[in-house]
Chain A
Amino acid sequence: MSVRRSARLLALPLVALVAAAGCGGSSGGKQSVSTQNSPGASASVDSAAAALLPASVKSKGSLTVAADASYAPNEFIGTDGKTVEGMDADLAAALGKVLGVKVTVENQSFDSIIPGIVDGKYDLGMSSFTDNKTREKQVDFVDYFVAGTSFFVKANGGPKVNTLADLCGLSVSVEKGTTQQDDATAQSGKCTKAGKKKVSVSVFPDQSGANLALSSGKVQVSMADSPVAAYQVKQSNGQFALSGQAYGTAPYGIACTKGTGLDNAILAALKDVMASGTYTQILDKWGIQSGAITTPTINGATS
């Protein structure tokens, strides 16, 4: 443990030295740092990517990442009761290693993260954010994954829902501030316009509340991002089942403050993480390889 820590302490000034010496070159010097055995154990610091970090991050030497840890398997609180774990947490750690900065993942409520990034309270938001044009007005996104929305219902006696249109007359639970909240509310309007019964949407402060409402029978359907829905169904030991197909496949983006250049640094680091195979390792660990992408982009939303 002490060998690892001193090796990491050595890495930072060495990175700074190499960056100062050969910054802007075509291939920055890669420094090997031995780390603990989680996905990304063989990560090395990419000084070219680290050089793209904004000055404030470089001087801090750390990145603050915000995530709403009620969204397993992407972000959730681990068994120790305080560490944020999951796909986003692992990816944040891998990015931190490549950039040679410390990464702290904080648990914050979902709808406070984007305003927090705009205000500069957090550096990054990695909370399964769907990259869309509305959110791109507030922050820049580095797209790293794709996911759609899935419906899940009670396995015994749950309704059959294939598309949003099937929701008319049903009760749905969603998390506050998500695209699912918008979709379900919009669908309710469409249902009433078509003369059908409205969708009874229950918006909960977090996904746990939405899941509880489904398991206690308060609502008939729940909607969440497809990896989250799949994980819920897996963890429920046969109580829940997925219904229909995932729709609205859209990219997940890492939210960064506009105009700081942080998105370029993250993009470069992400390309390294993908090239080294760490990305695939992380997705495999959580069983969500189906959402993998090959080329990360910035602000790749189409709607």
Chain B
Amino acid sequence: MLVNTLAFSSTTRGRSVVSRFDWQVIGQYFASDRVFQGLERTLLLTLIAMAIGIAGGIVLAVMRLSANPIVSGTAWVYIWFFRGTPVLLQIYFWFNLNFLYPNLTLGVPFGPALYHADTNGLITKFVAAFLALGLNEAAYMAEIVRAGILSVDEGQTEAAQALGMTRLQTMRRIVLPQAMRVIIPPTGNETISMLKTTSLVSVIAYTELLYAVQLIYSVNYQIVPLLIVAALWYLIVTTVLTIGQYYVERHFGRGSARMLPPTPIERLRTLVLRSPESKAL
């Protein structure tokens, strides 16, 4: 890839300063303040959006599986709406909510207003960003959680009912812990995907990692090196998240097999320290 890039840049017209694999520039910006600030915002957005998404997803999934048609119908409408429109559109919508609702009031219907706010002041760029991403994610997570719940054998629910557990107890203590084994891998997927989806909030001028890098290169024209800086940071965070997902899966996989397979670190340790002393231990 390096050779191809060098070959390409030598054949383009004009000595181009903008398409070289410039490690000096990469090193210069990799740990710069603006990039760190962008990274911080990306991570914060991912965290909050996934928190809202997972919590909302679990609630919606349980609602979907309810016998009550109003409850499951409401959940269906939510999932239909938030999966049915592009995330980008939802970001714009939340950011410009004041066009539809200039003021937000919380109160008793036909009674006093308990809380009144000007929409513009309440819905800042950050709030619009995590609302849009989080609520959209909740719709997708709802389907993932529902799949996990469906994967738990019906016999488990029957046994719990035979023991006299309420529906909530059954869900919380029997079904959901077993459903987690099936929920974790796609959720890990969604989290890693959310890390990149946050780059969409650049359209409301919220400077997360990719946009921070774009703003830098829009002035100094070092496009490719700066995009590489952003790519490297995304890869580093994705690696950390992937390792995290592995250990979370192991935690919820307890009891699924007699002995869980060794982790890569345990395997490495066995390989390196293969000696009579370690075997005795």
A-side residues, CB < 8 A to B, are 56, 110-112, 114-115, 118-120, 138, 173, 176-177, 181-182, 202-205, 209, 212-213, 216-218, 257-260
Contact = CB atoms under 8 A, between A and B. Distances in A.
A257 B202 CA distance: 30
A177 B19 contact: no
A202 B205 contact: yes
Interface in B134-183: none
Contacts of A110: 218
B70 interface: no
Given A120-B13, A257-B14, A218 B120 contact: yes
Contact of B223 (A115, A217, A218, A258): A115
A207 to B, nearest CB: 12
Given A203-B205, A213-B205, A119 B19 contact: yes
Given A115-B221, A138-B221, A257-B14, A216 B99 contact: yes
Given A119-B18, A209-B203, A209-B205, A216 B214 contact: no
B14 A217 contact: no
Contacts, number: 69
Q: Most chain-A Cβ atoms within 10 A of its Cβ — which of B18, B120, B125? A: B18
B98 interface: yes
Nearest to A138: B221
B95 interface: yes
A127 B79 CA distance: 43
A260 to B, nearest CB: 8
A110 B223 CA distance: 13
A259 B14 CA distance: 8
Contacts of B96: 212, 216, 218
Nearest to A118: B16
Contacts of B203: 204-205, 209
A216 B119 CA distance: 11
Interface residues on B, range: 20 to 34
Contacts of A213: 205
B21 to A, nearest CB: 15
Interface string B8-36: 00001110111100000000000000000
B223 to A, nearest CB: 6
B202 A205 contact: yes
B215 interface: yes
B95 A115 contact: no
Contacts of A118: 14, 16-18, 221
Contacts of B14: 118-120, 257-260
Contacts of B13: 56, 119-120, 257, 260
Contact of A217 (B19, B120, B204): B120
Given A173-B205, A218-B95, A111 B217 contact: yes
A217 B205 contact: no
B12 A120 contact: yes
B7 to A, nearest CB: 14
Interface in B205-230: 205, 207, 214-215, 217-219, 221, 223
Nearest to B92: A212
Contacts of B16: 115, 118-119
A220 to B, nearest CB: 11
B8 to A, nearest CB: 10
B103 to A, nearest CB: 12
A216 B205 CA distance: 14
Nearest to A258: B14
Given A216-B96, A218-B95, 7 more contacts: A110-B218, A112-B223, A118-B221, A120-B12, A182-B219, A203-B205, A257-B14
Contacts of A115: 16, 18-19, 221, 223
A222 B207 CA distance: 18
